A and B are shown apart, each in its own frame.
Chain A
Amino acid sequence: MTDVTVTAASDIEVDREALDASIAEFAGKNADYYAAAFHKIHESSGLMPQTFNLAAALLGPIWAAMRGVWGFFWGFLLLEMIAWVQIGRGAWGDLGADAFERAERQRERAAGFLDRAEQARQAGEDPARFETLAANLQKAADNSQAAADAAQAEALTILLFGLGLLLIFKLAQGVWSNVVYEKQYSAWRIEPDKTEAGVKSRNLLLGIALVLTIAPLTVYKFTVGESPEILDSFPAEKDHYVATASWLEARIDAAATGGAGAFDSIVAGVRSVLDALTIALIGTPWPVVMAVICVVAWRAAGPRVAIFTAASLAYVAFLGYWEISMETVALVGAAVIICVVIGIPCGIWFGKSKRAYSFAEPVLDLMQTLPAFVYLIPIIAFFGTGNPPGILATIIFGMPPVIRLTALGMRGVPDNIKEAATAFGATRWQLLKDVEVPLALPSIMTGVNQTILMCLSMVVIISLIGGGGLGKVILEALQYAAKGPGLLGGIAILLCAMVIDRIVQGGFRQK
């Protein structure tokens, strides 16, 4: 232990020298000024320390760039530009230009009518009609001229407003800059390698270049009435779009024809799962199915859920949605079964192999974030329309949670338990079967539940590509704006979802 003399907190003195040396190392140029400013900030206990950085006020964003305070740079570059645009509009913006032009035009036309009135008089006709027209036009021209004058007069106000804004922003920068710079100094003390410090000419040049490219163009575009078209819209080439789109279309068509066999067998596989479920749910007499569902609800989640289930089934049945609801359940069930059968092994693999997971993660992200409408199109191209393609679309959306949560659960298995099993001679298969999967099971179950809910939420969307079930009812109601049928069908979907969710959650909780 080193010897430490204990000093009362009130007697501890600030070691200015060490601090100043550190600040000098950070600030580089003008170290003395920043040491004094930071000192003031450190001494201050008020809301806003009273320091004023003249360089920051005058140079503005350039100062921030030079010192590498980039957040400050962008913020005040934007604010100063607002002020400069106002100043520009006021100073050379030609505010009444369009009104003035109109006045000119009207005056010309009035003069034209006066000429016609003169000609008519010479020809011995009645010039009164032309004279009235000319007088009206002259009046309109006067109005336009007045508007133009008013706008011109307003220019001064705008100019003053812009100057005021600029002054406020400059003051703000002067007052605030040292505070922000002190924060950067504190950050620099923690991570000297990753924080900008001192004055760097590279930063200064970058800052000037940014200001020069951004500010003049923007101010020009906002203050000049007629800016060149190149500044208004990006010179996009329509041909590129057409060519790319048709190229893609050809590729997709070729792939669809080329892989027709593979795609058809996938559809056949999905259809067989769906058919099995459909036979079980619709082929079986409805009293049997209803009774089985209620009993399952009772066993899995208790009497309250069973009563709720019975009530929901009654609603569905009495409104004639029975068969179509069971079709929905079969669709969701088939999607969930396929998700689980593929997803859990994938999750186990991704949980064990970091490399595999790093490849899979962007794909999973894509599957979840891509709007369903986008992949409905290729699905139609490859798999056609109807229930099986609908199930495939559902799988794309529904599979990520079970994969992710299985992988998460696998990674969460404590290493020491795995090590113990290995130390007692377990093979990899025994380790997986006896330790990893049982310990990951709660997470896997959460994943399955999430997947079920995600699949349910796809029910309506897949009706767009010919999927049946309750989604079709909603879609039809939507097409004819049929409020009643739409609402009844919506409630039926809601009840189906709630019943499935309650039963599944209850079942998992028991384990």
Chain B
Amino acid sequence: MNSLAHYSRLWLAGARYSIVRTMMFRADFIMWSLVELFWMGVNLLLIAVVYRHTNSIAGWGPWEMTIIVGTSMLVQRLLMGLFWTNLFEMGRNVRSGHFDFFMAQPGSPLFMVSTRKIDLDGFLNAPLALGVVVYACHRLGLHPSVWQMVGYGGFIICGLAIHYSTLLILVSLVFWLQSAKGLEGGYFGVNEFSRLPREALRGIAAVIFVYALPVILVTNVPARALLHGVELVPALWLIGAAVGWFTFAVIVFNRGLRRYSSASS
């Protein structure tokens, strides 16, 4: 309990520092918020254009598909807001030796490197992404129960854990490789699949993107919870994937940490 309070205080101190810093560069904050907003618009525009010419993608109608895309955007915005900058700075810090700073902090190195900063522009757009999901539900005439909404929230946290773990594994490679630069390109490529319905994938693609790298589950399970109610087997699969990926990511990080020998002069 004391430990939880300790880490909460550390996180709040980091959040306060991030907010003060963001307010020092307000124009930059507005520009980055616009950037994120525009990229979300690009994702929605693709859906709008495709559905101008077809009624269904793998059995999913336009507003059902919007729930998937909105859910994908929500997970992405939370990831960007909470972890993205921290994890990519970790890659740079390991190379430069500045990672020593985190080893000397009053907490677990993984917690300290993952939560030092928050990006307000990511957070600002997360409610907008949620708004897209709510609007799509409204257009479909859905009235989700409290259980469905709790399930949706829980699945979003599981999805966030999967994305965080994937990113942590990729960035932790910097302990072995000279540079993890460019790997984010692979992450974004894989993440595109989170905007697809499960039924669109067949064969080897389904095995890879549904089971091996569960990006499809991250969006499809919460979306189906809103559309059809919480389904037990997919829910267990998503929770299992979140626990499994997070455990694996922590093991990789800790193994990497053992190899770290500082690079400072």
Do A and B come together as binding partners? no
Seen from chain B, the residues whose Cβ lies within 8 Å of a Cβ on chain A are none
A→B interface (CB under 8 Å): none
